[in-house]
Structure 1
Amino acid sequence: MIIVKIIGGLGNQMFQYALARSIELQTNTEVKLDLQGFETYQLHNGYRLNCFNIAEKVATKSEIEKYIGSDSYFYKAIRRFCPSLLRKFQTEKNHTQYDSSLFELKNAYLDGYWHNGNYFEPVREQILKEFTVKGELSKGATELRERIASSQSVSIHVRRGDFLKHPDVGVLEIDYYKRAVEHIMSHVESPEFYVFSDDIEWCTEHLNFIENCHFVNSTVDELDDLTIMSSCKHNIIANSTFSWWGAWLNNNPERIVVAPKVWMKVNPQNFRWALDEWTEL
């Protein structure tokens, strides 16, 4: 059995689940999720994967302890400083880089973010089905979805919020969005732009140079936003796994996705998040 740790915001949770599901589907190995971290995790609305139509299999506490030991300070120290002492405990080796050896494992606990679309591209159609929201969208999101279906809609995601407190990640400059909009306008006839953000007031003030632009304030949560972004014809994403998924879930075969070339201001190992077919600016 494989156990995959789930933690972080919605975008990170989706990467972790997509890896888990891909391993299960491609190797016929039982894979379960470790959700114990959310007992104390207070950020980003907590665990959100259960809002999707996923194949949720949750590992028990005893199953997890067989792989990584208990939650005592002793085992916590081993996992942090000497993880190699735990034979079944495997942390991510190189962030964003594909590791094919994960699909050869039979008994392991995987701790990482797994930010690489190659892990689950072979099972894309199944992942698309499972990452659909249970129930109905909000009224505002439903009306917006109908509007964008009849236009050359382009989502723009602006991530601020907690990124303002993380200078190593950094908030994207306005110049990136100017260049991204220019790129779309040179390739798409009569585009309509829809801005999604955790700081829509800032966007209204600083992105008012964009023509045919709508600042979205009718959605009620991140599930609304993710669904509507993925329903747009094209996407301009931020340096955020949340908008990464908004673009990946976009099933338009002619979609144009613009992503920031500089994803993190501090990135000495040159980790890369964008897919090869996306345009990096």
Structure 2
Amino acid sequence: MKIVTFWGGLGNQIFEYAYYQWLKNRYPMENIYAYYPKAGLMAHNGLELFKCFDVIEPPCNKVITIIATILFYLNKILNRLGLPSLFTCTMQNKLYNSIFHCDWWQDKMYYAENYNLDFTNLKMNLKNQQLLKIINDTNSVSIHIRRGDYIKSNIADIYGGICTEKYYDRALSIVDKSISDNKQYIFFSDDPDYVREHYSIPNIIIVDWNNGEDSFMDMYLMSKCKYMILANSTFSYWSAMFNKTKRMVICPSKWNNLNFPDITQSEWIQIEM
């Protein structure tokens, strides 16, 4: 028996599902369960993965939840004390035979280069329908700017200083030189007012209407654009991975300031800051 933790935002939940599938293939004779900690899902929009994608939800029951909850909080205590957790598999120790598996699993070793999940429940409102037509009819460029929690003092040290204004200026310059005509710049951001204040380029659309449980629509729409400028965000990352028609993807050379997850695809253009 093994238990995989699903926590964080939608992008992280996709990484965790890919790991869950990898683990099932590695241990085909074992039962692989899921654990959905409320504390680990409350920061964003809760458990979105199975609402947004056509995937089978991993099994869970009360007994599994009790066992996993004990291990989840015991693991937190051991981490704070600086002690190793011998019963939990993480990306650092890779104890795959462990019962409890709790990490972000941001590594290409857990999924194929063509890994894909199909969106579901696409009840598109009129604005999204109109935008999708524009995306399909133009040389559409998605620009994802993540601010929100990234500028909070307790998180800025981890994710800040990477996708700066200089990064976006360089990325836009690269894209601009690659497109001769019919350009359409589409900004996706959790801070649309910031985008309005800082960007006044021609042919710009600022998507500010997909919020709350509809926020995953931004990932879907970005995944349809022909050119992509990513933020250092797992949400941004999977929009590019699921894009079957992309011509160019620009991303930062690192995804955070603590570790260096091996997730960037070889054909993507990396900008160092």
Secondary structure in 2 matching 1:153: strand
How does the TM-score come out when normalised to structure 2?
Answer: 0.83
Percent identity, please. 30
Q: In the alignment, does 2:117 pair up with 1:128? A: yes
Shift of 1:47: 1.4
Q: CA deviation at 1:20?
A: 0.9
Residue 135 (structure 2) pairs with residue 144 (structure 1): no
* Deviation of 1:143 (Å): 1.9
* Match in the other structure for 2:172: 181
Question: Is the contact between residue 228 and residue 248 of structure 2 (CA under 8 Å) also seen in structure 1?
Answer: yes
Corresponding position of 2:61:
60
Partner of 2:156: helix, strand, or coil?
A: coil
| Distance across 2 between alignment mates of 1:150 and 1:188 | 14
Q: Work out whether residues 186 and 207 of structure 2, in 8 Å CA contact, stay in contact via their aligned partners in 1.
A: yes
Residue type of the partner of 2:101? L
Which structure 2 residues correspond to residues 109-258 of structure 1 after superposition, within 5 A? 109-121=100-112, 124=115, 127-129=116-118, 132-165=119-152, 166-168=155-157, 169-170=159-160, 172-190=163-181, 191-208=183-200, 210-220=201-211, 221-252=214-245, 254-258=246-250
- AA matched with 1:278: W
SS at match of 2:187: strand
> Matched residues in 1 for 2:32 and 2:113: separation?
17
CA contact (8 A) 2:106 2:261 kept: no
* Distance change >3 Å, CA 280–CA 164, structure 1 → 2: same
1:45 aligns to 2:38 (yes or no): no
Unaligned runs of 5+ in 1: none
Q: How many residues align?
A: 261
Query: What is the SS of the residue equivalent to 2:3?
Result: strand
Distance 1:123 1:247, change over 3 A: closer
- Are the aligned partners of 1:158 and 1:196 in contact in 2 as well (CA < 8 Å)? yes
Tell me how large the CA RMSD over aligned residues is.
2.8
Summarize deviations over 1:154-185 as a string: whole Å, max 9, x none.
Answer: 11000111111122120522111111011112
Q: Which amino acid aligns with 2:128?
A: A
Aligned equivalents of 1:110 and 1:72: distance in 2? 9
Contact 1:133 1:223 in 2 (8 A): no
Distance 1:139 1:116, change over 3 A: farther
Conserved? CA contact 1:6–1:16, under 8 Å: yes
